[in-house]
Amino acid sequence: GGSNLSGDAYRRQHEITVTGDEVPLPFSSFEATGFPSELLSEVYSAGFSAPTPIQAQSWPIALQGRDIVAVAKTGSGKTLGYLIPGFMHLKRCCKDPRMGPTVLVLSPTRELATQIQDEAVKFGKSSRISCTCLYGGAPKGPQLRDIERGVDIVVATPGRLNDILEMRRISLHQVSYLVLDEADRMLDMGFEPQIRKIVKEVPTLRQTLMYTATWPKEVRKIAADLLVNPIQVNIGNID
């Protein structure tokens, strides 16, 4: 696809490149997002005054239901970049969480997965969104109970989610919003086989968002396999 030059000055200033078909205009402020007012209050009380560059670019893309690859370094606000459109996706779907999660976020480590869950709980509270975290090195019992009770969002490390899938204690057939966070790190840690097994359990009719700090050929390959006609957002210089 070709590149879209809209919002060009802003993009140049923040070293942003966006490529793909029919790239939407970025949001220049929180007001421009159209997010519900309860959610905006939450964002303001967190002390945030404007979307970060990755949020400004990726929110309109994600809200249109498009697949995204975002290449941006740590600390750029990627978590809310995919979580808030995930909340909006949940609002539209109205699925029964007891039949399985709708939003699935894969994350490389327990620590990162826990941070994502904290953010989801904090900003999803006003939208009554439920979330749980599945990671290794902790007993499975409480995690299985959360799944059984029903959650909208599951944040998981690939190893533990794969174990629980093999036990047939979770169904991913309702997942329609799939996020691969820190994809490069998950591949470095050797999680590619688990990721591929998990994705096989997720319907192909879904929205897929991939976040990575680097863009080596292994990540390009998995992006080409899992995403459909994505828009790619690069923030800063990438190799």
143 binds, among ligand ADP, Mg ion, none (CB under 5 to 8 A by kind): none
CA–CA distance, 151 with 136 (Å, rounded to integer): 19
Whether residue 121 contacts residue 69, with contact meaning beta carbons closer than 8 Å, is answered with: no
- Tell me if 58 contacts ligand ADP by CB under 6 A: no
The residues near 124 (Cβ < 8 Å, ≥ 6 apart) are 83, 87, 130, 131, 152, 153
107 binds, among Mg ion, ligand ADP, none (CB under 5 to 8 A by kind): none
CA–CA distance, 130 with 97 (Å, rounded to integer): 9
Complex with ligand ADP: residue 74 or 204, whichever CB lies closer: 74
Neighbour-count burial of 49, counting CB atoms closer than 10 A to its CB (0-12 exposed, 13-18 middle, 19+ buried): exposed
58 binds, among ligand ADP, Mg ion, none (CB under 5 to 8 A by kind): none
76 binds, among ligand ADP, Mg ion, none (CB under 5 to 8 A by kind): ligand ADP
| Contacting ligand ADP within 13-52 (CB under 6 A) | 48, 51-52
Whether residue 186 contacts residue 135, with contact meaning beta carbons closer than 8 Å, is answered with: no
- Tell me if 74 contacts ligand ADP by CB under 6 A: yes
- Tell me if 10 contacts ligand ADP by CB under 6 A: no
- Tell me if 234 contacts ligand ADP by CB under 6 A: no
Whether residue 67 contacts residue 207, with contact meaning beta carbons closer than 8 Å, is answered with: yes
# of chain residues touching ligand ADP (CB under 6 A): 11
52 binds, among ligand ADP, Mg ion, none (CB under 5 to 8 A by kind): ligand ADP
Stretch that binds ligand ADP, among 77-85, 98-106, 184-192, 224-232 (CB under 6 A): 77-85
| Contacting Mg ion within 48-87 (CB under 5 A) | 78
Q: Which residues bind ligand ADP (CB under 6 A)?
A: 48, 51-52, 55, 74-80
Q: Which residues bind Mg ion (CB under 5 A)?
A: 78
